[in-house]
Amino acid sequence: MGTGVGIGVIGAGVMGADHARLAAGHVRGGHLAAVADADQARARFVAEKYGAALAADAHALIADPEVDAVLVASPDATHAEYVTACLQAGKPVLCEKPMAPTAEAALQLVEAEAAAGRHLIRVGFMRRFDPAYQQMRDALAAGTLGAALLFHCAHRNASSASGFTAVNSVTGAAVHELDIVRWLFDTEVAAVTALQSLAKPGGMQRDPLMLIVETAGGVLVDIEVFVNCVYGYDIRAELVCTEGTMDLKRPAPSEIRHAGQQARAFPPDWRGRFEDAYRLQLNAWVANLGRKDAPGASAWDGYVASAVSAAGVRSLASGEREEVLLAPKPDFYA
């Protein structure tokens, strides 16, 4: 039996297993208490690997008195149900994005949390904990580069799962940039225009995409989303300010010199690229359970991310610039 906060992980797939690994061995003041998955064999494998209890199902895990806080990493369509159950049980929950399938459903969770009167929900926008994005935010706060003007982003995945659509490129991939823009520039997104490259023969339709994002604060953002770029997982960003620019630093893997070339491997996916961010997010969550000023994304941020990506999805369909429609922010999040 571990000490400190007992963490229950719902979902033992790729992301859940990785969160379980971190919760089991890399969280100060917390330990992995239990694991649940709709696939019991998968849950058992992860629970046994890390010495945690195997829960009969997600709701049993939430009810387990040994579980003090719940991490939801199950399939997207199940998130809202488990977050609601955590609110009802009065347990803090860190939910992988998206918090809910639509902006409307996300708003219902915001309202339910505000009605319960406790800051129990955090959303897993882990890039807010990435040291490289933090450095950019610090540079902006220090003012050395002057005022921000432009932000160029590229989000490239080596390949995407079959059935992955342009809508998923916006709601599942670019949503990370859409969140980081709000966090970095401390402003809302006003409008999104989605443009598609027409040059690529065959393959997934509408890949790559380009999103033009206008912020209320005036910073203009472009996001390339290319989910079948073949060569590796590559996240880039350049900040352009009135007195200088800054590139998003990339983790530096070992350099290989071979056959007349010098190379550095790309991580195959986001788990490697954002390893530090996931670990720091989990530690910050456990250290600040229930606190309004906890670092990371709140339920309100989760709702806004959904509303902004909804504007991107509308633009995919209309081919037009789409404004972001936001409900009034409850005082609870002020």
Footprint of ligand ISE (CB under 6 A): 157, 172-173, 176, 270
Residue number, 129 or 270, with CB nearest to ligand ISE: 270
- The distance of closest approach from Cβ of residue 148 to ligand ISE in the complex, given in angstroms and rounded to an integer, is 23
> 107 vs 173, which CB is nearer to ligand ISE?
173
The CB-of-123 to ligand ISE minimum distance in angstroms stands at 12
Q: Is 234 helix (H, G, I), strand (E, B) or coil?
A: strand
Nearer to ligand ISE, 24 or 277 (CB): 277
Exposure class string for 312-321: b at 16+ Cβ within 10 A, else e = bbbbbeeeee
Distance (Å, whole) CA 235 – CA 251: 11
CB nearer ligand ISE, residue 119 or residue 176: 176
Q: Cα(9)–Cα(27) distance, rounded to whole angstroms?
A: 14
Please name which of 155, 21, 19 lies closest in space to residue 74, comparing C-alpha atoms: 19
160 to 38, 232, 233: CA distances (angstroms)? 23, 11, 11
Q: How far is the CB of 266 from ligand ISE (least distance, A)?
A: 13
Distance between CA atoms of residues 72 and 28, nearest Å: 20
- Tell me whether residue 171 or residue 298 sits nearer to ligand ISE (CB atom): 171
Minimum Å gap between C-beta 79 and ligand ISE is: 13
Q: Using CB atoms, what's the residue nearest to ligand ISE?
A: 173
* Residue spans of alpha helices (H) in 75-130: 79-89, 103-116
CB nearer to ligand ISE: give 187 or 228. 228
Q: Is the dihedral of CA 293, 303, 11, 181 positive or negative?
A: negative
- Cβ closest to ligand ISE, residue 172 vs residue 208: 172
- 146 forms bridges with which residues in the sheet? none
What minimum distance in Å lies between the beta carbon of 176 and ligand ISE? 5
Task: Please state at what angle helix 40-49 crosses helix 14-25, rounded to 10 degrees.
Answer: 20
Q: How far is the CB of 187 from ligand ISE (least distance, A)?
A: 22
CA separation for the pair 1, 64 (Å, rounded): 14
- Minimal distance in Å, beta carbon 232 to ligand ISE? 12
